[in-house]
Amino acid sequence: MSAHPDETIDRELESALAFWRDAGLDTCVEDSPVDRVHVPQPVRRSPVIVGGAPAPTASAGPDIAAAVAEAKSRASEVETLDALAHAIRAFDGCPLSRLGAKQAVFARGKPDAQVMLIGEGPGADEDQRGEPFVGKAGQLLDRMLAAIDLKDEVFITNTVFWRPPGNRTPTLEEQMICAPFVERAIALVQPRLLVLVGGASAKFMLKSDEGILKLRGQWRDWRPSEGGQTYPALPMLHPAYLLRQPREKAKAWQDLLSLGTRLAGLDAPSLES
């Protein structure tokens, strides 16, 4: 039985929207014009002192700075990846942890890997199983890595650790709150190379406004927010995007070859005497 015309249109529209999102276009035309040069910050009312203690304010919204500070404190206290995973599960400062996610999804892979992959955020399959990149996109990623002999030789995590509702792109604030845990994971694994999988990861980690189709294939330097060791980082197309746009797999293969060449070059003997 053929699909109903409305269902076909819905699928085509969903695929088109996903394509533009992965290409870096994340804002649609709105009902009224917005002055994006000046974006007002939400007003936070000063707490009213009642009996010597500040009274809670209504509709104050999440305190991003406080959540980031708490994440930094908790991340700095751990010395192992297992302890980091436990700290993330116990952390409730990220709004995503209270928006329907079943569990925190931290990482999978080799704890002392030379290559660390950082994706966007967990989806439905990852939320169910508690590991990143285990759905169809993750299976494709594993096949891609196997093609350059890196399957089971990488460490994989995301910029956020809870599934965003509806598999939407995580917000900048959600990524900022989770960033101290991501940075601590990098410090504990100490990879030689980073791979930033997808536009949301590449744009956040590199602090760039460019879309993934412009960023991909270009080696950039990533450094922790408070300074320290610099890591070579390669943005690449997300496997979920490749499933929707299989013609783009040639670009992904070029990026994989670049990764393999860069990694091999790190181990090549120096020509200097």
Per-residue pLDDT, 271: 52
| Three-state secondary structure readout of 100-129 | CCCCCCCCEECCCCCEEEEECCCCHHHHHH
pLDDT band per the 50, 70, 90 thresholds, residue 37: very low
Position 36 pLDDT exceeds 50: no
CA–CA separation, 69 and 73 (whole Å): 6
In angstroms, how far is the first alpha carbon of the chain from the final one?
71
Position 133 pLDDT exceeds 60: yes
pLDDT band per the 50, 70, 90 thresholds, residue 31: very low
pLDDT band per the 50, 70, 90 thresholds, residue 159: very high
Longest pairwise C-alpha distance within the chain:
75
Per-residue pLDDT, 28: 47
Per-residue pLDDT, 243: 97
Residue 226: closest CA among 171, 173, 187? 187
Residues of the chain with pLDDT > 70, as a percent, come to 75
CA–CA separation, 93 and 71 (whole Å): 8
Position 113 pLDDT exceeds 90: yes
Per-residue pLDDT, 95: 97
Name the pTM for this structure: 0.78
Position 65 pLDDT exceeds 50: yes
Average pLDDT over residues 195-224: 97
For tokens 């189709």, the residue is 213
Contacts of 189 (CB under 8 A, 6+ apart): 81, 111, 112, 113, 116, 155
User: What value does the CA radius of gyration of the chain take, rounded to a whole number of Å?
Assistant: 20
CA–CA separation, 255 and 19 (whole Å): 19
Per-residue pLDDT, 267: 78
Per-residue pLDDT, 231: 98
